[in-house]
Amino acid sequence: MPIRTLKRVCSSDAPAEFVTAEESSLTNQLRGAWHHGTPLNQASLPLPADRGALRADRRAVLAPAVVHIGIGGFHRAHQAVYLDDLARCGHRDWGEIGVGLRSPAMRDALAPQDWLFTVVERGRHGDTARIVGSMTGYLYAPDDPQAVLKVLADARTRLVTLTITGNGYPVGPDGCFLAGDPGIRADLAQPRQPVTAFGYLVAALARRRAAGLPAFTVLSCDNLPDNGAAARTAVLGMARSQDPALAAWIEEHACFPGSMVDRITPQTSSEGRRLVAERFGIADRWPVITEPFTQWVIEDRFSCGRPPLEDVGVQFVDDVGPYKLLKTRLLNGGHSALGYLGFLNGGYETTSDAMANPVIADYLAVLMRQEIAGLLPEVPGVDVDAYQRTLLERFANPRISDQLTRLCGRGSTKMPAYLLPSLAEARRQGRPAALLTLAVAAWCRYLRGVDRNGAPIDIRDSLRHLLQPLAARAAGDLRPLLRQRAIFGELGDDAEFVRALERAVRDIDEYGPAAAIADRLAIQLLDAA
């Protein structure tokens, strides 16, 4: 499994989105930390921190072949860096245009910087900065929807990538298109003035069909069990609702490859801006702080050509499923468990804070090794034991630590995607599941909306108003909460699991997460002896 860093792939002279708390507080943060360095823009390059950054003449000839919808921190730390690597190696055909749907904050931050931004990799032994120049333009869709459609319908556009979060896909748990989604209804009523990502995609594909242009590839980079299928379902569902002939053309000519993406990228804070200004001398309105590890695995199925990303570390495979399952069950599932147990334990704000507790660190290691890894299929070319060790090191890295409050967000989407499937499979196979059950118990306890000291918890979840009253009312009886089959499936019918879950919640309440963990780890050791 390749692990890329920010080292140059070649020599420098060679030819998701919803408005976040980060965005809403951006204006206040801009008033301070970033003013102390050299203002970042094309005229200020090269800067000492990155003399290999793309010069103006190289950026000017980048063809805008990629349109990315949902420009946020993760995309800029991940896919944009790969495209920047291509450009630095002399590939001119794969520049990108960014599109924002929900907030003008990214536009306002990056426009004065000529769409340049800094990516800082924080490893255990030091920091490295680079200036990314693969994005040559940005459109905030509500400003001018027609400009977005024009770019998408442009013959030069060959690939559209997405990071719009799992909630941005109008696809139900059964994999069916949700025609009743409010945004979809608005787009179907006014298809020439779309508001959703899929409204724009279908309208643009209709224009391309009318103009005799090939269909672009739609590449989802969101954490969904099958993001390629979700994107395909959403596009075809909307197209069929408008024009069955258009849907048939899209189905025949467009491709929707699946992908797996991985790079821990916390929200940028004022401290991050200050770091970039003081350590690297760059006044960047919205830099990105990330880790050394980065991975991108893509199903090799494209309809209009593809970038040669294999030259810069991307894996193209026939089936991305095993890689995605490995990542979502171990990394994302581990993150969810760490988030809720660490938060409820009290006194911990970040992943590295929680991992500094040896009981919690041991819990994650045993959870992955004994309860999750054995449920996974073989992944070609991957040493699963080494992958788990890498994950634990990443979680414990104090220089790129993630906020536990962020990991706890959107639990109603994350838990059924990342952690509950492992638990359900373990129950079906009769395998140990005490540690998985404890993670679910921590989420159930978190959903009450007050911590163990009675302080309120700000639950950030689209289903908060449904789940919090059920969790609070249930107290010792979790059956009302477990009846939410869209989340828990058939686990609520498993009487043995329900008893174990209720006991785990009581243990968290009475003794705290660390003691509940220690008790279950001791039982694991006795069983293994």
The predicted pLDDT at position 528 comes to 67
Q: Which of 333, 363, 286 is nearest to 118 (CA)?
A: 286
Contact yes or no for 103/70 (Cβ under 8 A) = no
pLDDT of residue 474: 63
How much is the pLDDT for 8? Answer: 34
Asked if the peptide bond before residue 46 counts as cis, ω within 30 degrees of 0, the response is yes
**Is domain 21-318 classified as CATH 3.40.190.10?**
no
pLDDT at 69: 98
How high is the pLDDT of residue 421? 96
**Nearest Cα to 163, choosing from 72, 256, 279, 289?**
72
Distances 529 to 138, 225, 364 between C-alpha atoms, Å: 60, 36, 20
* 247 contacts 254 by C-beta, under 8 angstroms: no
Characterize 283-313 residue by residue with b for buried, 16 or more Cβ atoms within 10 angstroms of its Cβ, and e for exposed. bbbbbbbbbbbbbbbbbebbbbebbebeebb
pLDDT computed for residue 167 by the predictor: 86
> For position 529, what pLDDT does the model report?
58
- Identify the three-state secondary structure at position 105: helix
Compute the half-sphere exposure of residue 324: CA atoms within 13 Å on the CB side of its CA.
Answer: 21
Number of H helices, E strands in the chain: 26, 13
- Are the CB atoms for 58 and 13 separated by under 8 Å? no
Task: Give the list of residues 6+ apart from residue 402 with CB closer than 8 angstroms, or none.
Answer: 264, 266, 335, 350, 351
Query: The domain at 322-528 falls in which architecture?
Result: Orthogonal Bundle (1.10)
Calculated CA dihedral for residues 373, 340, 16, 400, nearest 10 degrees = -80
Helix 197-211 vs helix 227-242: crossing angle, to nearest 10: 60
Q: What is the pLDDT of residue 527?
A: 72
Local mean pLDDT, 10-residue blocks, the chain (529 residues): 40 34 45 71 96 95 97 97 97 97 95 98 93 98 97 98 94 92 94 95 98 98 93 98 97 98 93 94 97 97 97 97 96 97 93 96 97 95 96 94 93 94 97 97 96 93 94 81 94 96 96 96 78
DSSP E strands in 124-220: the ranges are 126-132, 135-140, 159-162, 217-220
- What residue spans define the domains of the chain? 21-318, 322-528
| Closest C-alpha among 129, 130, 127, 131 to residue 399 | 127
Residues 498-503: contacts with CB within 8 Å, 24+ apart?
A: 500/433, 500/434, 500/437, 501/437, 501/440, 501/441, 501/444, 502/476, 502/477, 502/478
pTM of structure: 0.88
